[in-house]
Amino acid sequence: QLQLVESGGGLVQAGDSLRLACAASGGAFGMYPIGWFRQAPGKEREFVAAINFDGVNTDFADSVKGRFTISRDNAKNTVYLQMNGLEPDDTAVYYCAAKSGSYYNNLRSGRQYPYWGQGTQVTVSS
């Protein structure tokens, strides 16, 4: 069964950058689209970004478009989320998840992702 582990979170100041990593084991990582989601205290989980299995297609929430990029290295079983220009509203626990089915089917719905990591905290101070 596919297992995912996030890393790279931390406490930064507004305007700083962080790169999150999502490392996979135990499954055919290269076959899965991977998404990043986040959940802030008192708020619902929200979609952040996603990348198709081959890294060609990507998608971003409007709130992070132009600031975040997503990439993957299938040889290393890892997906990266590069976050630039961080803002206090980016503060949340960030989760990576592996999607079942087609990349194009309900990409932004967490219900389409059966495999989840434990999350990594990102805190942005103003």
pLDDT of residue 79: 98
pLDDT of residue 125: 97
pLDDT of residue 105: 84
pLDDT of residue 31: 92
Contacts of 25 (CB under 8 A, 6+ apart): 2, 3, 5, 77
Name the pairing type of β-strands 10-13 and 120-125. parallel
* CA gyration radius, the chain: 13
Q: Average per-residue pLDDT in the chain? A: 96
Contact in structure between 17 and 86 (CB atoms under 8 Å): yes
pLDDT of residue 60: 98
Residues 99-116 have pLDDT tens digits of: 998 888 899 999 999 999
pLDDT of residue 74: 94
Cα-based distances in Å from 124 to 10, 15, 25, 46, 71 = 8, 9, 30, 17, 22
Residues 7-53 have pLDDT tens digits of: 999 999 999 999 999 999 998 899 999 999 999 999 999 999 999 99
Give CA torsion, residues 106, 111, 115, 121, to 10 deg: 100
Residues 49-88 have pLDDT tens digits of: 999 999 999 999 999 999 999 999 999 999 999 999 999 9
Contacts of 111 (CB under 8 A, 6+ apart): none
